[in-house]
Amino acid sequence: MAEAGRRLLRNWRVVLGGALVLAVLLAALLAPVLAPYDPLDQDLSAQLAPPDWHFGADAHALGTDSLGRDVLSRLIWGSRIAVTVAVVAGVLTALLGTALGLLAGFFGGRADALISRLVDIWSSFPPVLLAIILVALLGTGLRSVIVAIVVIDWTRFCRVVRAETLKQRRMDYIDAAVAAGLGPRAILWREVLPNILPLALVLLTLEAGIAVVVEAILSFVGLSISSDAPSWGGMIAEGRGVVHEAPWLLSCAMLVLLATVLGFNLLGDGLKAELDPVLR
């Protein structure tokens, strides 16, 4: 185990991606400690103040927005929403898509036909449009955003896991297990699933990045949480309006979003190379 850990740490993608993800996680966990201001506190005497780096009670390291709220504090608090969406939507999507993909790939026949057609139909909708329609129907709010992501993105897992399960099912060790008299459930759990897990984990990190972007998109169009509460998408939307007067607003939020998604993707790429027992 320790050896596996050391090997992971030799992969720069895992290290850099992991560090970025860890930084966002820590920001989310420690937001009340890290943030210099209350993210909702308005200071109408300091609207659109530019970033300044002097030390003092009234310093805004990354400037303020049009209501005089501290940008750094809002970015830190906004990471809570990003992390919640990444983890909850990512895990739920992974569970649903992997379960259906395993069923379709392993049992084939009618189950496969049904699930695969469903995936085909699902994938023919433009995802962002579908998300907007779903959230409009479910009502705004974080829970609707998560539901929308799960409902739309399970196909991503389902397809890949189904293909991998089909490949696994043709391997001789599955035949050997059948010949040995193991039942389908035992084969699915012990022989197929361990070979699917690394793949599912990689997809999960990629999905976490996608979920963060989708939440930002929905915030941008005002369909996520209320516009008061700090979210990166909301800050991008607000910054867009004042990009000539206060470019730091837009750029800071975008950079943070970029770094987070990059972190998840690098981590996923690195894990993919390291987790395959045959490749490593």
Neighbours of 79 (CB within 10 A): 27
Among 52, 175, 228, 245, binds other proteins (CB under 8 A): 175
Q: In the bound complex, what is the minimum distance in angstroms from residue 164's beta carbon to other proteins?
A: 12
Binding mask 182-201 toward other proteins (x if CB under 8 A, else -) reads xx--x---xx--xx-xx---
Q: In the bound complex, what is the minimum distance in angstroms from residue 108's beta carbon to other proteins?
A: 7
Q: Report how far residue 138's alpha carbon sits from residue 66's, in angstroms, rounded to the nearest whole number.
A: 30
Q: Report how far residue 30's alpha carbon sits from residue 100's, in angstroms, rounded to the nearest whole number.
A: 37
Stretch that binds other proteins, among 15-23, 29-37, 73-81, 167-175 (CB under 8 A): 167-175
Q: Is 262 in the site for other proteins (CB under 8 A)?
A: no
Q: Of 88-127, which residues contact other proteins (CB under 8 A)? A: 108
Rounded to the nearest 5°, which phi and psi values hold at 35? -70, 125
CA 268 vs. chain centroid, Å, equals: 11
Q: Which residue, 4 or 114, has its beta carbon nearer to other proteins?
A: 4
Secondary structure (H, E, C), 149-218: HHHHHHHHHHHHHHHHHHHHHCCHHHHHHHHCCCCHHHHHHHHHHHHHHHHHHHHHHHHHHHHHHHHHHH
Is the distance from CB of 228 to CB of 238 less than 8 angstroms? no
Q: Report how far residue 245's alpha carbon sits from residue 239's, in angstroms, rounded to the nearest whole number.
A: 9
Q: In the bound complex, what is the minimum distance in angstroms from residue 177's beta carbon to other proteins?
A: 8
Stretch that binds other proteins, among 44-52, 72-80, 148-156, 176-184 (CB under 8 A): 176-184
Q: Is 3 in the site for other proteins (CB under 8 A)?
A: no
Q: Which residue, 33 or 278, has its beta carbon nearer to other proteins?
A: 278
Q: Of 48-77, which residues contact other proteins (CB under 8 A)? A: none
Neighbours of 231 (CB within 10 A): 29
DSSP codes of every residue in 110-158: HHHHHHHHHHHHHHTS-HHHHHHHHHHHH-SSHHHHHHHHHHHHHHHHH
Q: Which residue, 174 or 242, has its beta carbon nearer to other proteins?
A: 174
Q: Is 173 in the site for other proteins (CB under 8 A)?
A: yes
**How many residues lie near other proteins (CB under 8 A)?**
22
Q: In the bound complex, what is the minimum distance in angstroms from residue 206's beta carbon to other proteins?
A: 20
Q: In the bound complex, what is the minimum distance in angstroms from residue 183's beta carbon to other proteins?
A: 7
Interface contacts to other proteins, rule CB under 8 A:
108, 171-173, 175-183, 186, 190-191, 194-195, 197-198, 277-278
